[in-house]
Chains A and B, each alone.
Chain A
């Protein structure tokens, strides 16, 4: 045995390998939905409502129809055969809304599509749009949730009893008694204003009609291709053999491309009716006005604390402004109910009560946006924690330490019913406290007069990779908890791995390849990850809710292990050894310390093409399909620390440092995890300091361009510091937890606490985000006035 072959088993999971999708994306060879062009393709443009709430009296389309190059003008009556979009829910006290694909009789937000124009090119389509006249009879509006929730407010949907389209209560223990018994009680009224995703690629759809087979392919900028396929199929009466949804490259979503939209239904319907391919690409104003918006909640909350600084009770009243319609499939309950579900956070709080209401307003529908509910929940709770620390004279980190669920206390059920499993709650807090040199900041606070300096912390926990026991959106009757994958070795020895997920920046082509490569014993670049095509998988929903690493990674492990059993069985027959003697690595299949070795191409040839080497019964197809459902999910946790400095002259708020300590379990690719955290934090910075969709009293949007709706640029984001804490791994295959949203969850609260700390000498608290120089000016002016009056 002198020539014994030894192969080191390479480890790919945990390596910062360079991304496999990058070469096409870096060279302009990616394919996004707007890039698709086919012969005779027609272009869709829309006339959208310029009224917040009005009856449609008349639509005059004559001049537009006459314009050369216009193929057709369509209004609601042309789509009477398509059922209205409605999101069902199992929740009690939930009243569904019904949204026709084009506004019928009434418009309910500025930006709602009213007329669809099909033209030979988009320029002509927009010429035609300018010739269409719509006569409206405006109705009274109640633009804010507070106004719209009053009994006398004008009703947005005549079919509903009021503008309150759902309400729900949470109760655990006896909150009233616990609060009245408490030594310390802190309260606050917190507000997160309306945001929008702003993926740099606006929404885009191309419905490709294929006359050869009378089939339709929707190339969609969506992150939920399976859900879109299933629902458009239902609405238009198409099954999967006639209709598929393909995503190819998608230019970001952050939730904004994670719902079903009228425009994608219309391109499909018209493509089938006219037997030609149709494209629609939103411009930025359309994208801002008609893609799902986010947050916009008010939370009135009270935290009770005993004499030892232990939290005893939490009470909250949550008012969610959900916009004009309940979005499919998540429903309007998604965001506000998640606030209530996650409000108790990573702490022991024995008594909890919360009421949640969702209010219809004449504004664009809200939907998922990175973090969903938790940025608001964490902002409200972490502000209360800091207020309590101030009241008790404890440091914010010490109070957190006293109340975070302890390492020995997992699993821990919080007042809303969510169960936390072991995650690095204390480890993350300790790391963040250590990273921020508190004494030096304290010294700077007292010595510096030219800047107001402050530090803030925020700890949170989230449920990632949610399995089938819990609906991702509360009450949503749809299983989003399982994923199916097929891993196969073809006759050339190439490995392909087919998933129903849909990467839109998450690097799944790389991270899933790393997992398959590691488990099978090949190189990551030899694994072709195929995803985002509904025709290749029986079922799947997409990539959202920090699920793809946990559920996708989990099913990759399961399916690859199933395939490896087959590979070992074949090799064992070939070598005349036991399957347990076989090892794989580096593209080879071998028995250690022997000369028995073969590579994947050779074994594939023996199995598929060679008729004599292996007995017929040993030539099994090298393919394995598996399904994974984590049932509940995994607990990801983190502590963020922010350091800000404020210029007393200009009131410019500068984020000087942002540090994140997080426990997302086993890292698949540290570079990718860092990227996810960084991107999430940047959006959290936007939510904290810049981003706000504003509407005037008539419901007119006044921030409909990127010059008005400000997202962070490289000048506003500091170097981002991330520490990965790996505690006990979750029991999911691979030990992965989700990390797609955490950055956005923790950052706003940490920054709000830091700004409040910087303003402590003025006694000003940041309870509404974003906090901007002009809002700060107003707060200071109000505080000064109050001082004078006192």
Chain B
């Protein structure tokens, strides 16, 4: 248990090196070893989506990954999306539409939204709802989240059609 494995990776465009126990979860590694506590742990069995990060651009559950699986990877966490002074457009859309209340599930939603905006057509609310259904929010009832994503999709498609 004490034998550690060396990993090198990039998180939010910064290089990191670490020695980790092979059993350490990626979520615990980010939070406890690197103090990137914006990634939240909600269930540790891959259902709630609060711990979603981007691994080489793809949304994944960091509670279902081991830290050693991040070796050589490009990782993005919510801390890399925007700062409190300069938020990313996804973040400002969530603020405009009041798409968060307690904020605990929010980082996972933001990571998922980043991914689905890149990969899915999201032609209507049903598609948006299906795409978001892997993340649980217990506060908002989803209505405001769907509206925020709908506005982001509209912006995306307007730019794409120009």
Contacts and interface: CB of A to CB of B under 8 A. Distances in A.
Partners in one complex: yes
Interface in A33-70: 34-35, 37
Nearest to A671: B98
Q: Which of A281, A283, A715 has the most CB of B within 10 A?
A: A715
B133 A26 contact: no
A667 B76 CA distance: 39
Interface stretch (B42-50, B54-62, B154-162): B42-50
Contacts of B31: 34-35
Interface in A158-215: 197-202
Contact of A24 (B45, B84, B101, B129): B84
B143 A720 contact: yes
Q: Which of B24, B28, B35, B144 has the most CB of A within 10 A?
A: B144
Contact of A26 (B45, B48, B95): B95
Nearest to A680: B141
A18 B101 contact: no
B103 interface: yes
Nearest to B104: A251
A712 B139 CA distance: 11
Interface in B116-149: 125, 128-130, 132-146
Contacts of B21: 123
Nearest to A684: B141
A679 B82 contact: no
Contact of B45 (A674, A677, A706): A706
A128 to B, nearest CB: 12
A82 B37 CA distance: 34
B31 to A, nearest CB: 8
A713 B102 contact: no
Interface in A479-511: 504-507
Given A127-B1, A284-B42, A27 B83 contact: yes
Interface in A720-770: 720, 743
A505 B129 contact: no
Interface residues of B, number: 63
B129 A715 contact: yes
Contacts of B139: 252, 505, 675, 679
Contact of B84 (A27, A122, A250, A674): A27
B13 interface: no
Nearest to B81: A27
A197 B43 CA distance: 14
A249 B104 CA distance: 9
B84 A29 contact: yes
Q: Which of B24, B101, B142, B145 has the most CB of A within 10 A?
A: B101
21 contacts: A16-B98, A27-B82, A28-B79, A34-B31, A37-B35, A122-B28, A198-B138, A199-B102, A200-B105, A201-B104, A202-B42, A249-B102, A283-B44, A504-B102, A505-B101, A505-B139, A675-B144, A713-B142, A714-B129, A719-B125, A720-B143
Interface of A: 16, 18-19, 21-32, 34-35, 37, 121-123, 127, 197-202, 249-252, 254, 281, 283-284, 504-507, 671-672, 674-675, 677-683, 705-707, 711-715, 717, 719-720, 743
Q: 3 closest Cβ contacts across the A-B interface?
A: A28-B38, A251-B104, A25-B103
